[in-house]
Amino acid sequence: MNRLATDFLSQIKAGGLDRNGFDNRLEVVGTLEKRNLHAYKSGIEGPGHGTAPALSCPVAASKAHCAPALDVPSAIFFEAILFDDAVIMTIKVQLGGTQIVWLADMEDPEVWRAIEMWRDAKAVPIVLAVENGENWNYLTYMVPMCSAKLGIEELLPKIEGLRSSTLWNYMTSQVTRFYLRLQATTGIPGALLEHVIDCPLLTSTTSSYPREEHRKRARVVTPHPMLASVG
């Protein structure tokens, strides 16, 4: 068992498990954002600038050290986790020694539209919103995206219509989060993988998925500049 998985189990046993540094009772989710909401914070231009949506993820102040410098090597990988009655897409973005994993509905049309836009742009904008007291710091990264067909696309004909009522539970469960860390390996030669951050991807499609027990939780999303809030 690797260190990431061992540390995760230790947190569970100690009762100190968190979600990206936020209280475990909160629902911490990633979103697809219009990049122009955050671009001025980073000043980054180049490939991907325009209409391609950004993958966003909120990070608590206690995990700020997991957010790397803007000039680190980066890579993106699209994989899948298969359950008996559901399939989750994992969008893994590695930024230096940190890997951020967005868990998405494999059949979510909004996600596939974003993938097509990233292919056209040849890059994926990534926004990490790092908590800073009552404010947020926004870090925008541009990750190269290839135009080739993704391996997971071969699964689509086999899973058509397979949408479990418990999909959101799978996307947020401790078992899934442990599995991500157990299987985690660096995707960048020479880069030591030190941190894994994960969050379910909330879209207009998946917004109806969370069950009643999840809807009772306060939700943490990437706040828009000047509109930062938790809840």
Closest by alpha carbon to 92, among 202, 221, 183? 183
Q: pLDDT per residue over 95-138, tens digit each?
A: 999 999 999 998 899 999 999 999 999 999 999 999 998 889 99
Cβ 120 vs Cβ 210: under 8 Å: no
Q: What tokens were used for 161?
A: 């219509």
Q: How far, rounded to the nearest angstrom, does the alpha carbon of residue 36 sit from its chain's CA centroid?
A: 19
CA–CA dist 228, 134 (Å, integer) = 8
Sign of the C-alpha dihedral computed for residues 191, 151, 200 and 4 taken in this order: negative
CA–CA dist 186, 97 (Å, integer) = 8
CA–CA dist 74, 72 (Å, integer) = 6
Maximum pairwise Cα distance, the chain: 47
CA–CA dist 187, 178 (Å, integer) = 19
Instruction: Calculate mean pLDDT across residues 140-157.
Output: 87
Q: pLDDT per residue over 153-210, tens digit each?
A: 888 766 666 666 778 888 988 899 999 999 999 999 999 999 999 999 999 888 777 6
- The number of beta carbons lying within 10 Å of the beta carbon of residue 18 is 15
CA–CA dist 49, 39 (Å, integer) = 9
DSSP three-state, residue 116:
helix
Q: pLDDT per residue over 33-45, tens digit each?
A: 876 554 434 444 4
Q: DSSP label at 162?
A: -
DSSP three-state, residue 169:
helix
CA–CA dist 17, 22 (Å, integer) = 9
Cβ 52 vs Cβ 123: under 8 Å: yes
In which band, very low, low, confident or very high, does the pLDDT at 226 lie, cut at 50, 70 and 90?
Answer: very low
Q: What tokens were used for 18?
A: 């968190």
CA–CA dist 137, 61 (Å, integer) = 10
Pick the range with the lowest mean pLDDT from 26-30, 78-82, 187-191: 26-30
